[in-house]
Each structure stands twice: as C-alpha cells, then as structure tokens.
Amino acid sequence: MGKWIDMPPVWLLGAVALAWGLGQAVPEPSFGGWARAVAPVLVLAGLALIAAAAWEFRRARTTIIPHEAPQAMVAQGVYRLSRNPIYLGDALILAGAILWGQAVVPLVLLPLFVWIIRARFILPEEARLAAAFPDAFAAYRARTRRWI
C-alpha cells in the first residue's frame, strides 16, 4: 500500500464513495426530507473541526501526519474538548454524506469507519504520544475524552 493511500482523508473519501455506491445499490429505505437539511450542517461542522485542529498543529509546530513522530503534544483549542477532533470531523463529514444520499443502508459504514480509524490511526498515535510525552499524555487522557 502506498504511503499516500494510508492517510485518513483517503479512507474518508473511500468511505464516502462506498456509501454512495451502497446507496445507489440499495436506495430503500430512505431518510425523510430532514436529512438534506442536516447533511450540510454536519459536513460544515466536520470541516470546521478539522480546520481548527489543523490550526492547533500549526501553532504547536508539530506534524499533522498520522504515522510520524510528534514534536509536541497538542492539548489546547479544540483538543481540550476531544482527543481526536480531526477524526470526529471525518465522521461528521461521512455522516453528512450518508444523509445527503438519502439511503439508510449506508449508515452501517459509519461505525465501521470509526472502528477502522481507531485501529489504524488513533491507537498508534496515542501510543506514540504516550511514549514521547508520558506524564503529559496520561494527564491529558485522564481529562479529555477520545471523541466528545
């Protein structure tokens, strides 16, 4: 697997494409009209979370690349509310895309996506943070939830 493929945005795009395809293959049952109103709100909230989190990485002068070693531990800004605001943003974007597509069946992809992101990115990232900043990460982990 190429290094560029093993990045969360690629996994998100793959999940969105799979949700679209599944929605086309199994369009019924569908959501009501409310879903088209809620979908863009979720996508915009997800994008805002990702942007705010990326800003904190930039301020801390550390890498945002998941498999690289961190130079600093980020625990301010949106990271005070969630240890994983970028992945939470990804999940919101996927939920919005699923709602926009109107088909209920692709919702099964949301917990699968979250499970994959947790296993593939979150757990290894937390291990690197615990190794690099043992006391600071332990305190952060104790006071800040993984998602929200």
Q: Please check the confidence at residue 2 and state whether its pLDDT lies above 70.
A: no
Domain limits of the chain?
8-24+38-143
Q: Please check the confidence at residue 4 and state whether its pLDDT lies above 80.
A: no
Q: What is the mean pLDDT of residues 44-70?
A: 96
The predicted pLDDT at position 121 comes to 96
Candidates 118, 103, 99; CA nearest to 11 is 118
Instruction: Please tell me the least confidently modeled range out of 5-9, 15-19, 70-74, 122-126.
Output: 5-9
Q: Measured between alpha carbons, how far is 8 from 64 in angstroms, rounded to an integer?
A: 11
- DSSP per residue, 47-112: HHHHHHHHHHHHHHT----TTSPPSS---SGGGGT-S-HHHHHHHHHHHHHHHHH-BSGGGGHHHH
Residue 135 token pair: 């006391």
pTM of the model: 0.94
